[in-house]
Structure 1
């Protein structure tokens, strides 16, 4: 958390406030939350630059600055980027404050796993964590054939393969469980054994679930909020995630829990063959 729908929601809500704004000051309350580039510090690379647009790659938020500089923000488990129209005193877990021409952006993270890296735009794909990411599941280039090719060499449980960001960018525990349920495929199934029809159904389910998550502005259980501090609403539509031990909403059978790839997995033993 956050996964693709949450980061996309953060991107959209943050862009509405900060696009075309200049960064006037940066307060590094916990300096380890940011990374510079080679021998140049974060402030030196970022201060005074204008925000030209916001992009997303998988679970990463890309804040594009003028003069060919990019901020790569990864929220990890509990990171947040919140916008405030006026000055706001930093909260306990706020690590970085960006003062803009109009308002402030606070980066906070309870568990301190999240990071913001400044890197030249021309290098941000090949010389950062972005270089290892698999295809974007909502782009036209992501087809059933592409999904099949990325699963072909995976002799692991399908749940584990789909959590691998090198296979597919942006999916995490929530949306993998939900996608597999919609596709009617067991999370324990070996990834490279799916039929052509199963691949097509899984491809459609992944795209449908992610788009539904974006439309609902993400899923909020504990930490996730958009840039305005608002919760997402997709929790109300969840079929299996977080519902272990409860009846399946389709067939009524008790949903089962197991551990796959170190993550709690919930599925329906009747609906997911």
Structure 2
């Protein structure tokens, strides 16, 4: 599913085209995705200017003149969602559920599995929206560090890998990025979070940042349906050291990569390099 790098790549891809442009309205072809689509969205958006495009965790945030009586559009891509910029006359396909219409372009939300979301927040302070208020720390922000991870995990008995994927602690680290970050840091995904030392958490924080930055530079990971706003695909998954490489040799020590289930997800790791 689209995680922090994919949402950030989507944000960066839209920046040259949408900020400063006014919305003509919206075309809504389904009453709900994961949540109900806001009623009257077409009339609500008509005439509002997109002042900025931000990201919070896996949410894309469009500032629709929030300081001048408008608000914010919150877009979550769910398991299979993507955003495309298309010409206004482009026919909609089966899973094209919402169009945000501008004079010369359309931002189209496609979501085959309908696990995404499109929400509206009235006013300026978007961080108070219930979907954002519960989110944890941003791993690419200044406040994310080994010291913070160490302090936040004291007394935690659960394995470190599913804890990294808990959005109430830290946002946007999905299955691929948790596995690859732990490999870079040499930490077993089975190790209890509360038993990892400060020094190893410093290594892990650096590994998380490096992994996410590398994925953003590679256009994210395209595993199922994710594409860029121009229709291109991400390629980070092609350079993974452990993810989806069960039985293949570790790129460092040649030990076969193992896989196990944690919290309902597949965890890939090297039993020799990760302790």
Question: Structure 2-normalised TM-score?
Answer: 0.94
**Map of 1:141 onto structure 2:** 143
Q: CA offsets per residue over residues 54-104 of structure 1, 9 Å max, x none?
A: 000111111111134101101010011100144210011100112202211
Q: 1:45 to 1:259 in 2, by over 3 A?
A: same
Question: Is residue 183–residue 270 contact of structure 2 (8 Å, CA) maintained in 1?
Answer: yes
Q: CA offsets per residue over residues 230-252 of structure 1, 9 Å max, x none?
A: 11121221111111121111111
Matched, 1:259 2:261: yes
Q: 1:127 to 1:25 in 2, by over 3 A?
A: closer
3-state SS, counterpart of residue 52 of structure 2: strand
Question: Is residue 7–residue 56 contact of structure 1 (8 Å, CA) maintained in 2?
Answer: yes
Compute the displacement of 1:220 (Å).
1.0
Compute the displacement of 1:152 (Å).
1.9
Question: Structure 1-normalised TM-score?
Answer: 0.95
Question: Is residue 159–residue 261 contact of structure 1 (8 Å, CA) maintained in 2?
Answer: no
State which drifts further: 168-177 or 66-75. Answer: 66-75
| Separation of aligned partners in 2, 1:29 and 1:85 | 18
Compute the displacement of 1:123 (Å).
4.5
Matched, 1:172 2:171: no
**Map of 1:24 onto structure 2:** 24
Matched, 1:190 2:189: no
**Map of 1:64 onto structure 2:** 63
Q: CA offsets per residue over residues 163-182 of structure 1, 9 Å max, x none?
A: 10011111100100000000
3-state SS, counterpart of residue 100 of structure 2: strand
Q: CA RMSD in A?
A: 1.4
- Structure 1 unaligned regions, length at least 5: none
State which of 189, 207, 210 in structure 2 corresponds to 1:208: 210
- Structure 2 unaligned regions, length at least 5: none
The 5 Å alignment of 1:1-273 reads 1-33=1-33, 35-36=37-38, 41-66=40-65, 67=68, 68-273=70-275
State which drifts further: 170-179 or 239-248. Answer: 239-248
State which drifts further: 198-207 or 65-74. Answer: 65-74
| Separation of aligned partners in 1, 2:230 and 2:185 | 34
| Separation of aligned partners in 2, 1:127 and 1:176 | 27
Q: 1:104 to 1:126 in 2, by over 3 A?
A: same
Compute the displacement of 1:45 (Å).
2.8
| Separation of aligned partners in 1, 2:237 and 2:253 | 20
| Separation of aligned partners in 1, 2:254 and 2:129 | 49
Q: 1:76 to 1:176 in 2, by over 3 A?
A: same
| Separation of aligned partners in 1, 2:44 and 2:147 | 41
